[in-house]
Amino acid sequence: MGLDTASVKFLCAARSLGVDFTSTAMIGRQQFFPDPATLQRVFSILGVNHDPKEFLRENLYGERFFALLGAKDIASIDCSSYENASIIHDMNVPIPDDLRERFSAVYDGGTLEHVFNIPQAFKNCMEMVRIGGHFAQANVANNFMGHGFWQFSPELLFGAFSPGNGYQIEVVLLHEVIPGGAWYIVANPDEVRSRVELCNNSPTYILTVARRVARAAIFNPPPLQSDYVARWKGTANNPPQPASNPGGRDTRPRAVRGPIGWRRHLPLPVKRAMRAALDRAFDVYNEKLKRVIIRGFKRPYYKQVSEEDLLRGKLGLEAVPDQHGVPTR
């Protein structure tokens, strides 16, 4: 993915939120290609004076932009040398000891979605961050099927970057990658006691800032999906009752239990006419269902934030509501 327009806005926001980029690792050497207008806007917030078009001409990769964010030591990690990464390592396998807790910030701008062994790749990134440092990522969510191995979800990120694994999520965002695409803060599924789902029509990024707060045995035990954990706990407190029909006889009405026999005796033209009428009825039903399902971000666990507030780190995180509209923090 590289440092495109959305990613540059996100990194500006991360800096505004207090991410320390002094020692930065890029997962994959990030190509640099935001639009000049966005770059000028970000330069203004960062307080630097550069001509954006000239800066773009002179920088095919992201090192100099990270330097503007405060980086003094910048590494890039890739499994191949074809883009001249400074560290050659396959993220499918564990990192060497000299990379553990080496960086104040690790940034993945669309590389991990192309790594097959995603638990190991996440663990590598998490182990490279020093205590108090940050992991930040911009990866694909919806409508990118075939782009890589994976599309990421809020459940995955909140589950992976959890206190049990030594991390605290500071923000998860969703952004539709279209002209004028809005930005949304995403609530933690465990806190809102609901699956955080999205059905939309546009390519969408998911972006995360997480702070490492402690050393932990990462993914030992592995994350479990929050709504299932809640169900299991409920089942333990309320064990299932024995069936009220121990003999096993199916007492449901005949229409529910199986096909209605009289259909076998209908003439073929009548059957076809009935089938055509049912098909038309289902088509109408499905169109109505689509209008209900494709609600996009009109869900209580999404909170839109203006792009200006995003860039300046003014995210109002305390106002993210749960499924009943109650703030979770």
Is 276 within a domain?
yes
pLDDT digits (tens, 9 = 90+) for 222-265: 999 999 999 898 876 666 555 555 555 555 455 444 555 556 67
In this prediction, residue 277 has a pLDDT band, given cuts at 50, 70 and 90, of confident
Is 326 within a domain?
no
79 shares a domain with 177: yes
Measured CA to CA, the distance from residue 192 to residue 234 in angstroms comes to 16
Q: What is the CATH number of the domain that holds 99?
A: 3.40.50.150
270 shares a domain with 210: no
Bond into 221 cis (ω within 30): yes
Pairing of strands 23-27, 87-88: unpaired
C-alpha torsion sign, points 75, 79, 85, 88: positive
Measured CA to CA, the distance from residue 85 to residue 83 in angstroms comes to 6
Q: Which domain holds residue 17?
A: 5-226
Do residues 100 and 129 lie in contact, with contact meaning Cβ atoms separated by under 8 Å?
A: no
Per-residue pLDDT at 316: 78
- Domains identified in the chain, total number: 2
Burial state string for 223-234 with b = 16 or more CB within 10 A and e = fewer than 16: beebeeeeeeee
Measured CA to CA, the distance from residue 100 to residue 117 in angstroms comes to 19
pLDDT digits (tens, 9 = 90+) for 115-145: 999 999 999 999 999 999 999 999 999 999 9
Is 189 within a domain?
yes
Mean pLDDT value of segment 112-117:
98
Mean pLDDT of the chain: 88
Confidence check: pLDDT of 318 > 60: no
Mean pLDDT value of segment 46-55:
96
pLDDT digits (tens, 9 = 90+) for 201-219: 999 999 999 999 999 999 9
Helix (H) or strand (E) holding 276: helix 268-293
Nearest to 24 by CA among 179, 128, 156, 151: 128
The structure's pTM equals 0.81
Is 271 within a domain?
yes
Residue with tokens 């995360």: 208
Confidence check: pLDDT of 199 > 80: yes
Among the candidates 211, 226, 241, a domain finishes at 226
- According to DSSP, the residues that pair with 77 across neighbouring strands are 27, 87
Please state, for a pLDDT cut of 90, what percent of the chain lies above it. 75
Per-residue pLDDT at 327: 45
